[in-house]
Structure 1
Amino acid sequence: MAITTRLYRPEDRQAFIDLNRDWIEEYFELEDSDREQLEELETSILDKGGQIIVALLHDRVAGTGAILPPHCDPGDGRKWLEIVKMAARKGLRGQGIGRAVIDALIQQARAMDADAVWLETNADLTAAIRLYERSGFRHLGSDDLWPTPYARCNVQMVLELSSAAAAQAGA
């Protein structure tokens, strides 16, 4: 199974929306922040300096994810990016699509000169958490949590990309 990734194109819009709606509605309820990112993805992601990655399987969008400046700036002088809207097509989950997307997003973060990447998820999404952990993300402790616009998000994780960021995180 050859999974490839590339940057978002306008013709990917509906697939991005559908894949994310599917997983969110499967496990949770669509929230206002979801609606904004999905219905206004150009202004809520791309126009804010973000990028969307799509994973293709047999020339069909099988997964998505986005990276953009975070909704909350910790003000620590580092360049942060946030990963949002990671999704894989139902029936294809567990086949490497998420891995391909997260790897491409991390590569994109490096290309965007980020020092660190932040994300949030839900503790019930154990496969996603394992993927993030295997990709080098560490869990934030309760003293380090950022405000979240999502009721469902109860896990926050960070990936340090630069040695300076890693040293600062350890301080």
Structure 2
Amino acid sequence: MPQTMEGMKSADITGVAPEEIEIRPLEIGEDGTAFRVLNEEWISRYFVLEAKDRETLGDPEGTILRKGGRMYQAWADGEVVGCVALIPMGNGVYELSKMAVSPTLHGKGIGRRLLLHTITEARALGAASLFLGSNSKLKNAVHLYEAVGFEHVPPQSLPDMHYERADVFMSMQL
């Protein structure tokens, strides 16, 4: 049975301002439970966990970090409240994947801070471009990606993401 948000620390962080958020990388050997829990929560709320989700969330160290990818977590009051991953696809192309913010903190600018941080980190890595797959049900997420410079592209122009739920495809040249 998947762990839920209730299984995580339950500090009252609903009043946290975006500037109070600290963004840190998740390193090899560190606990990736919050990454899994935050992502399982939103995916299960809107869709169903797919095989690719279970693979990535079950072993983020092996499927992301040990393949040269990066994971970032947003922290508030000692708790992980958001996360995102950069997955290398070769030739300077990275998938922006598994972005999630605690449901109690939606609309507070944390996702934007996390996304802008990740784009900056991708540039520092020498990434040439980023791409992502999302879903039209996630209007706020799609709007955020558009607002920071992602552009809609045809799915065949991107590497295969293996997600049935993806019906919005975007990329950004860095």
When the two structures are superposed, what TM-score results if normalisation uses the length of structure 1? 0.85
Q: Does the CA contact (< 8 Å) of 2:84 and 2:114 recur in 1?
A: yes
Which residue of the partner structure matches residue 8 of structure 1? 26
State the partner residue of 1:34: 53
Render the CA deviation track for 1:36-74: whole Å, top value 9, x for unaligned.
10001111000110010000122211000000213xx6x
1:21 paired residue among 35, 40, 46: 40
Q: How many residues align?
A: 155
Give the conservation status (yes or no) of the 8 Å contact 1:53–1:65.
yes
From 138, 161, 164, the counterpart of 1:151: 164
% identical equivalent positions = 39
Match of 2:67 in 1: 48
Q: Which amino acid aligns with 1:13?
A: G
CA RMSD in angstroms, aligned pairs only: 1.5
Measure the CA separation in 1 of the matches of 2:94 and 2:158.
15
TM-score normalised by L of structure 2: 0.84
> Could you tell me how far apart the structure 1 residues matched to 2:83 and 2:61 are?
15
**Structure 1: runs of 5+ lacking an equivalent:** 162-171
One-letter amino acid matched to 1:112: L
Q: 1:131 aligns with which of 144, 166, 170?
A: 144
| Distance change (3 Å), C-alpha of 1:66 and 1:155 | same
Q: What residue in structure 2 maps to residue 67 of structure 1?
A: 86
How far does residue 147 in structure 1 lie from its aligned partner after superposition?
A: 2.8
Q: What is the Cα deviation at residue 148 of structure 1? A: 3.0
Q: Which residue of 1 aligns with 2:127?
A: 114
Task: Give the Cα separation in 1 of the matches to 2:100 and 2:63.
Answer: 17
Matched residue type, 2:151: R
Whichever residue aligns with residue 45 of structure 1, its letter is: I
Answer whether contact 2:93 2:129 (CA < 8 A) is retained. Answer: yes
Q: 1:43 to 1:142 in 2, by over 3 A?
A: closer
